[in-house]
Structure 1
Amino acid sequence: MKREMLLHELHPSVVHAPLALLPTAAVADLIAVTTGDRAWAKVARRVWVAGTLSGVFAGIAGLAASQEVRVDSPRARDMTFLHGVGNTLVLLGALGVTGFRLKREPTLTTAVLGLSACGLALYTASLGGKMVYELGVGINAMPEDAPQGTLKGPPLLSARAPVALVRDALQGVKWLVSRARELLTGERPLAPGAEGLRSGEDATLPLPLELSPTSGHTMPQA
């Protein structure tokens, strides 16, 4: 049976581009610094631009996806939060290095910073994998009463998709900021196991009623 690609599936489809391009750019910079070969520096500059632009697009798609999937358990919800915050830091680092590299030659410092950001990306990617393969976030075949799954967003190529992408991406930013504020103030600590390093005991518990959505989403809204 033919099934159209849904909007929330855009993020896992495009995220591989920055995951491949950004480490390639950082390694090319390191080669340029250690060998003095300016050709490597020229290639790296172009790859930094391509990797960062693809990262911006993947980030927007990810923010939108965070509002288009069912995430009712505290552990899955906070794992999604850490995934988003970590990727935001990676993207900010990539933007900074790319801005520097557009005007200057690579240095050992920028190469190390780039590789460090890529190391963080490996961790956030592992969280993304746990969200899908361990908890079932975003999986269409999940039972309707499961705490994780998908909200069946609009088809990717539909007329509604562009508006939904922008709307849900902005809502995703609002949610990330709201959740970060709760953590910083101690209002609601991180759920056990959300960091992906241990199992959480509350993976199947629904959110409290007061955290239920009011706009058709099951992600907590700010």
Structure 2
Amino acid sequence: MKTTVLVADDDREIRDILHIYLRNEGYSVLEAEDGRQALEYLQNEKIDLIILDIMMPVLDGIRACFKIREQSNIPIIMLSAKSEDIDKITGLSTGADDYVTKPFNPLELIARVKAQLRRQNFTSVNTADDSAEIVIDDDLILYKNEHRVAVRGKEVALTPIEFSILLLLATHRGQVFNIDTIYQKAWKEQSEFYSDNTVMVHIRNIREKIEVNPREPQYIKTVWGVGYKIDR
């Protein structure tokens, strides 16, 4: 069965261009003109990845991303005509896995699509090895095979990227990972197209979900000037 990518953008020219490039890579492509159409497709079709523009009518990409994350951990790549870091942070904070600024090189976007799908497949294949359960302590448990996390007895929904980052740190307790290494291992690609904020925002999102007080984290520790670790 072909991998299906949903392109949600109100700009027909961008949809057409991405359709051609994605189809040439062997993907099946669906198109939506706004966030509401994207959600309708998600309800009725098997979709493997979404390319989601931020600025759309009816339902914009930010609100659509929030709604998607309520029901699915499907990889999401956000598109925006704005290049400021604050817009990137907003996009990633909604649960998106990656972010591309317009105008973009279609080949770069295709590379990011492949990286997200590769990482998704890698996680699915490799969650069956080693121990299926990683116990940090009584309050934080990762279930690798089921790709889920329990915090203080309650399940917490992490995006695929968030889970990959937490799994990386949890399986190498005490080891400090710098931002470049976290990006390369979690995204399964080289770190030439990203900014430091990409990883930092995902770390912040994870802390918001697993820590009692995200400003004084018990689990994911910052080693200033170096990176992040879990040493419990």
Question: Which TM-score applies when normalising by structure 1?
Answer: 0.30
Structure that is richer in strand per residue: 2
Question: Which TM-score applies when normalising by structure 2?
Answer: 0.29
Looking at both structures, which has the greater relative contact order when contacts are Cα pairs under 8 Å and sequence separation is at least 6?
A: 1
Structure that is richer in helix per residue: 1
